[in-house]
Structure 1
Amino acid sequence: MRKKLVLALSGVAALFALTACGGASAAPEAGAALDPANPVELKIGASPVPQAQILEYVNENLAKDAGIKLNIVEFDDYILPNQQLAAGELDANYFQHLPYLEDQIKTQGYEFSHGTGIHLEPYRAYSNKHKDLASIPDGATVVITSDVSNQTRALQLLADNGLLKDVPADASVVSLTDEQNPKGLKFEETDPAIVVNQLKDPKADLAIINGNFAIQAGLKPADALFSEKIEGNPYANLLVWNTKDDGNKAIAKLEELLHSQQVQDYIKKTWPELS
C-alpha cells in the first residue's frame, strides 16, 4: 500500500538549519519470530524513487512471511518525513543519509535511531550546455542544493574534480574564499527537488543533482559530466525510527529484510547506478 504526501517546495530552504551531531546506530533486536498469521503493520515514510519502490518490493515479496505489513507513505521533500516520525505519525522512515540525519538530530532535537546503510544515491554533475569537465568556464553558474549537509557534499564533489580547491568539511557556498573558488564559480541555491528542473535554465552551466531526483527525471549516470566516488562514501540511505522503538521487533525485521540478499539483488537489477 502506498500513499503520497507532497509538500509545496517554495520557501523550503528557510526550514533547513543544519549542523552536525549524531544519533547512534542502534538496530533493535529482532528477537522471537513475528506471526505471519497476524502481521504487524508499519507505517513507513519514504521518497518515491527508489526508497518507496524498494519498500513495495519488500511488502509484496518478503513482508508477509516475516510477519509484517507495510503502509508506505511517499514524500517529495526532506522535511516532513522526520517531522511526522517525531510526532508518531510514522513508525520509521527511509529517505536520508547519516550526515543529514545527524544534522537534523542536533538542530531539531529529534530522538532517532538508525540502521546501517542500504543503498547509495551518488551525487552527479549534469549540464545541458557543456559536454565535458574541461568545458566548464571561469565564472560558470552552478545550481546547487540549499540543504546544508548536501551542499557541503556537492562542494566536495566540485573540489574532487578540480573546480574548487581545499574545500573544508563544513564548507558552504557563502563560506567559500577566493582561494577556494579560483574559477570564480557562481552558485544558485535552490531546494533539493528543484535542482534538476534548473538544469534546463539557459543560465545554468552545471547542476549537482542527487541520485533519486536524477532517476525520477530520467537522467542516467552516463549523462553526467562527473560523479561522486562510491568507495568510502558516507552517504548511504538508511532506515530511521524513534529511539523509544529500539526494541520494536517489527522494525527490526524490516531492517533485516532491507539488507537481505533478495533486496540487494532487486536494487542492483532495477537501478544499476545505485550501490
Structure 2
Amino acid sequence: MKKKILATVLIAILSISLTACGKKENDDENKIVIGAVLTPHSEILEQVKPKLKEEGIDLEIKVFDDSSQLNPALKDGEIDANYFQHKQYLDSVADEKGFDFEVAGNIHVEPIGLYSDKIKSLDELKDGDTIVVPEDASNEYRAFLLLEKYNVIKLKSTASNKTATVNDIEENPKHLVFKELDGYQIPRSLQDVTAAIINTNVALQSDIDTSKTIIKEGSDSPYANIIAVRKGDKDKEKIKKLVEALQSDDIKKFIEEKYNGAVIPAF
C-alpha cells in the first residue's frame, strides 16, 4: 500500500513539473522574448534594441528557421510575442490550432509579387503555362487576388482567405496550371516553371532581386505584418514600448532606406 501511495505522489509531482515546463511565460517586465524569422523581421527588431535598452527593457530575439513553429511557441509561452505573419494568415489558422492571440501593432507590408526567369511581362504568358503559388490558404488567396487584379484569372465569389485553393478559380482564359508549394520552397522551383508568386521576405532570404517583379501589390496592401501576443498581453507596458519603438520615425526611415520598396512601413 505504501508503495502505491508513493507511486501516486511521484506521478502527481511529475505531472505538475511537466505542466510547469510546458508553460514558460516570461513575467519579467524588463525583458521581452520575441520570436521572428530572419529577414526582414529580425533585422528590424535589432534596430530597436538600443532604444528599448535605454528604457530598461532587454529585447531577446529568437530567430526561427521554421516559421510554422512561431505560433506554437507563442501559445506555449516560450516567447512573449512573435513577428512574422499578417493578420489574415493568423486568422486562417487560429481556430484550427487553438491560437488565442491578438494584434499588438502593424509594422510593415511586404508586397507579394510575380517573379520569373522565363518571361518579362504578362503578355508573354502562353496557354498552359505553370505558375507556382504559396500553398497556405491565406497567401494562396492573396496570390490569386493579385492575378485577378491584372485580369489573369477570375475568382469565384465564394473564395475565402481561410480556405482558398485552385478550385476557387472561376475563369482561367489561358488554362494556366497552378502548382501549390510551401512558400519557402518556391524560389527553388523558379527554373522549372514559367513564373511564381513569392512573398517578399522569402525573396529577400533567397537573394532574389525584388525590383524584378512582373506584377506586385501596391503600398495599399492590407497584408501588414504584425506583432502578435497572447490574448490580454497587448496592454502590458513592455509590449506597448516594443510597438512604440517599432512604429517610430527612425524605424520607418530604416525600412525605407534598407529595403528600397521591397518592405513598406505600415504605420
Aligned to 1:30: none
1:173–1:187 contact (8 Å) kept in structure 2: no
Higher fraction of helix: 2
Contact 1:159 1:167 in 2 (8 A): no
C-alpha deviation, 1:149, in angstroms = 0.5
Higher alpha-carbon Rg:
2
Task: Give the letter for the 1:226 counterpart.
Answer: I
- With over 3 angstroms needed to count, the CA separation of the structure-2 counterparts of 1:123 and 1:212, relative to structure 1, is same
Q: Partner letter of residue 187 of structure 2?
A: V
* Structure 1 residues 222-260: Cα deviation after superposition (integer angstroms, max 9, x where no partner): 2111111222x2101010111132342111110111101
- Name the counterpart of 1:258: 246
How many residues are matched? 233
Counterparts of 1:266 and 1:257, CA distance in 2: 12
TM-score when normalising by structure 2: 0.82
CA distance in structure 2 between the partners assigned to 1:195 and 1:134 by the alignment: 22
Kindly tell me: are residues 176 and 114 of structure 1, through their superposed partners in 2, closer, same or farther at Cα, counting changes over 3 Å? closer
What does residue 222 of structure 2 align with? Answer: 234
Structure 2: any 5+ residue segments left out of the alignment? 1-27
CA separation in 2, counterparts of 1:115 and 1:134? 42
Structure 1 residue 65: Cα displacement: 1.0
Aligned position for 2:10: none
* Residues 39-188 of structure 1: pairs in structure 2 closer than 5 A: 40-59=30-49, 61-168=50-157, 169-170=159-160, 172-177=164-169, 179-188=170-179
1:99-118 deviations in Å (ceiling 9; x for gaps):
01112222212111112321
Cα RMSD over matched residues? 1.7
Task: Write the letter of the residue equivalent to 2:32.
Answer: L
For the structure 1 residues 62 and 175, does the alpha-carbon distance in structure 2 shift closer, same or farther, using more than 3 Å as the test?
same
TM (normalized to structure 1)?
Answer: 0.80
Partner of 2:25: none
Gaps of 5+ in 1: 1-37
**Residue 213 of structure 2 is aligned to residue 224 of structure 1:** yes
Query: Aligned partners of 2:97, 2:67: CA distance in 1, in Å?
Result: 13
CA deviation map 1:150-205 (0-9, x unaligned) = 0000011111112102454417333235x42221111111111111111122xx00
Q: Distance in 2 between matches of 1:102 and 1:176?
A: 19
> Is the contact made by 1:155 and 1:167 (CA closer than 8 Å) also made in structure 2?
no
Contact 2:144 2:155 in 1 (8 A): no
Indicate how the Cα distance of structure 1 residues 167 and 268 shifts in structure 2: closer, same or farther if over 3 A, else same.
Answer: farther
Deviation at residue 96 of structure 1 after TM alignment: 0.5
Give SS of 2:229's match: strand
Residue identity opposite 1:119 in structure 2: H
Contact 1:120 1:236 in 2 (8 A): yes
- Percent of residue pairs bearing the same amino acid type: 36
Asked whether the 8 Å contact 2:106–2:225 carries over to 1, the reply is: yes
Q: Tell which deviates more after alignment, 213-222 or 150-159.
A: 213-222
Q: Check the 8 A contact 1:143/1:188 in 2, yes or no.
A: yes
* Number of the residue aligned with 1:244: 232
Runs of at least 4 residues off by over 6 Å: none
Q: Quick check: 1:86–1:242 contact (8 Å CA) kept in 2? A: yes
What's the CA shift string for 1:4-57, capped at 9, x where partnerless?
xxxxxxxxxxxxxxxxxxxxxxxxxxxxxxxxxx98121100010000001111
What is the identity, as a one-letter code, of the residue corresponding to 1:244? G
Does the 8 Å CA contact 2:166/2:178 hold for their aligned counterparts?
no
